[in-house]
Amino acid sequence: MNDIKQFRFNISTNYLFALGRNSPSHLPGIRPLYYGIPERRRAGAEAKSLLVTNWFAVKSHLSFTLVEPTHSGELPVSFTNLIHLEYLDLSRNNFSGELPVSFTNLIRLKYLYLSRNNFNGEFLVLLTNLTQLKGLGLFRNNFKGKLPASLANLIRLEHLYLYSYNFSGELPVSLTNLTNLKYLDLSKNKIIGPIPPSYGSMLNLIVLDLSTNQLNASIPKEIGDLKNLKRLDLGDNNFDGPIPLNFANLSQLYFLNLGMNSISGHMPLDIVNLINLEHIDLNHNSLMGPILGNLSRLSYLDVSSNQLSGNVSFQDPCNLQQLNLSINQITGPITSLLACNDLQYVDLSSNKFVGEPLNYLDFPYLKFLNQSLNPLSAIVPNRSSCNALSGESTCKEHNRRTKVVHHLTISIPIVVGLCFLLLLVTCSTINARLPKRKFSQK
C-alpha cells in the first residue's frame, strides 16, 4: 500500500490493470485521483477498456482526469454517481451526444472541463445548481443556445471559457453578479448587441476576450474601470465610436486588440504610454490623426488600414519586433526605425514616407520588409527569398549572399578595368615584337 501512495496525483492505466477489476476507491491517502493514459503503447486496448468500466465505481475520490485518451460515444448516466467529485476533466476526447440531466447531482464540483469534444444540446442550463464551480471550460463542442441569465448563480466562478460554443443572442447583464470572475473568454461565438456598461463592475477581471462576435455600438467607458485587466481583446466585431479616454486607467494592460472594427476618432496618447503595454492591434478601423507617445516599449504594433497621419519616431532602446503601419497617410522619414534592431516584420507600404528607404541589411533578424508605394528617394531591392514565411537560418544565409553580391558590385568594375588595361599593355608589347619574330622564323 505504501507503494501505491507515492503516485498520489497520477495512477497510470498500467497500474490499474495490475489491480484487476477491484475499484481503487479503497486506497487511503489518495484524494485527487487522475485516470490517465501516459503510456498508451504498454497499456494496450485491454487496459483502456478496464479504465472505462471502472470509473463509475469511484465515489469517494475528488478528482477525475482523462489524459489525452481517445474515448468516444455518449457519457453514461451512471457517471453522475460520482457525487464527491470536485475536479472533472474529460477534455480532448471524442465524446458526443447530450450530457445527462443527472449531471446536476455533481453538486460538489469546483472545476469542470469538457472542452474539445462533440457534446451537443443546451448544457449550460443544467449547471445552475453547481454553485461550487470555480472553473468552467466547455469550448469547442457542438453546444448551442443563448448565454442563460441563470449562469449568474455560479457566484464562485473565477475562470469561464466558452469560446467557440455557438452562442447567439446578447450578453446577459446578470453576468455582472460574477464578481469573483478573473478570466472571461466568450470569443468566436455569434453574440450580438452592445457590451452592457455594468460589465465594468467586474473588478477582478484579468482577461476579457469577446473577440470574433457580432457586438456593436460604442465600447462603454466603464471598461476602463477594470484596473486589474491585463488582456483586453475586442477585435473582429462591429464596434464604432472612439476609444474611451479612460482606457488610460488600465495600467496593468499588456495586450490590447481593437482591430477589425469601425472605431473612429484619434488614437489616445495615454494608451500608447501605458508602461506595461506590449501588444497593440488597431488594424482596419477609421482612426485619424498622428501616432504619438513612446512606441519603443512595444513589441507588436499594428495600426494598418486606418487614416492616420503625421510623423512617427522611435527611440533607443526599441523593443519592436512586428510593425505594420501600412495603408495610412503617415509622412516624414523612416530612418528612426534604425533604433529597432529586433524587428522581424515591417510593413510600411501605401503611405507618404519620404527620404531614404530602409535597408534590410541593417536589421539582423528581419524576415519581411515592405516599403512600397511611398515617395522614397531610392529603391531597395525586395527581399523575395526572406519573407515572413522564411526561417531565420534562411534569412541569415540570404544576408550573407547579399553582402557578397554587394561587395562584388563595387569590385567587379575595378577588376574589369584593370584587366582591360593589362590587355592593352600586353597587346602593345606583342605588336612591337611581332615583325622581329617573323623575320627570325624565315
Average the pLDDT over each of 89-103, 196-210, 406-420 and give the range with the smallest value. Answer: 406-420
Which helix (H) or strand (E) segment holds residue 217: the answer is strand 214-218
Nearest 10 degrees: CA dihedral of 49, 53, 58, 63? Answer: 40
Q: How many CB atoms are located within 10 Å of the residue 266 CB?
A: 15
Distance between CA atoms of 242 and 336, rounded to whole angstroms?
Answer: 29
pLDDT band at residue 15 using 50, 70 and 90 as cut-offs:
very low
| Residues in the chain, total | 442
For residue 189, the model assigns a pLDDT of 94
- Closest by CA to 91, choosing from 18, 141, 154, 126, is 141
The amino acid sitting at 92 is: R
pLDDT of residue 53: 36
Q: What's the pLDDT band for 314 if we cut at 50, 70, 90?
A: confident
Name the residue among 324, 323, 327 with its Cα closest to residue 307: 327
Mean pLDDT of the chain: 78
Is residue 404 pLDDT above 70, yes or no?
no
Q: Which residue blocks in 209-253 are alpha helix, DSSP H?
A: none
Q: Which residue has the higher pLDDT, 247 or 93?
A: 247
* Average pLDDT for 96-116: 90
Distances (CA, A) of 397 to 141, 357, 400: 45, 22, 5
Measured distance CA(259)–CA(313) in Å, rounded: 22
Task: Name which of 42-51, 84-93, 286-295, 331-340 the model is least confident about.
Answer: 42-51
Which contiguous run of DSSP H or E holds residue 335? none
Q: Do 84 and 59 meet the contact criterion of CB atoms below 8 Å apart? A: yes
What is the predicted pLDDT for the residue at 62?
Answer: 55
Mention every residue, 6+ apart, whose C-beta is less than 8 A from residue 183: 158, 159, 160, 161, 205, 206, 207
237 and 213 in contact (C-beta within 8 Å)? yes
427 has pLDDT over 80: no
Amino acid at 165: Y
pLDDT value, residue 158: 97
Cβ contact 56:89 at 8 Å: no
Q: d(Cα 261, Cα 391) in Å, to the nearest integer?
A: 32
**What is the reported pLDDT for 281?**
97
The per-residue pLDDT for range 162-210, each reduced to its tens digit, is: 999 888 899 999 999 999 999 999 999 999 999 999 999 999 999 999 9
Average of per-residue pLDDT across 83-91: 88
| Structural contact between residues 190 and 216, judged by C-beta atoms closer than 8 angstroms | no
94 in Cβ contact with 74 (< 8 Å): no
- Give me the percent of the chain exceeding a pLDDT of 70: 71
Contact 240, 218 (CB under 8 A): yes
Burial level of 53, CB count in 10 A (0-12/13-18/19+)? exposed
Distance, in Å, from the CA atom of 111 to the CA atom of 161, rounded to the nearest integer, reads 12
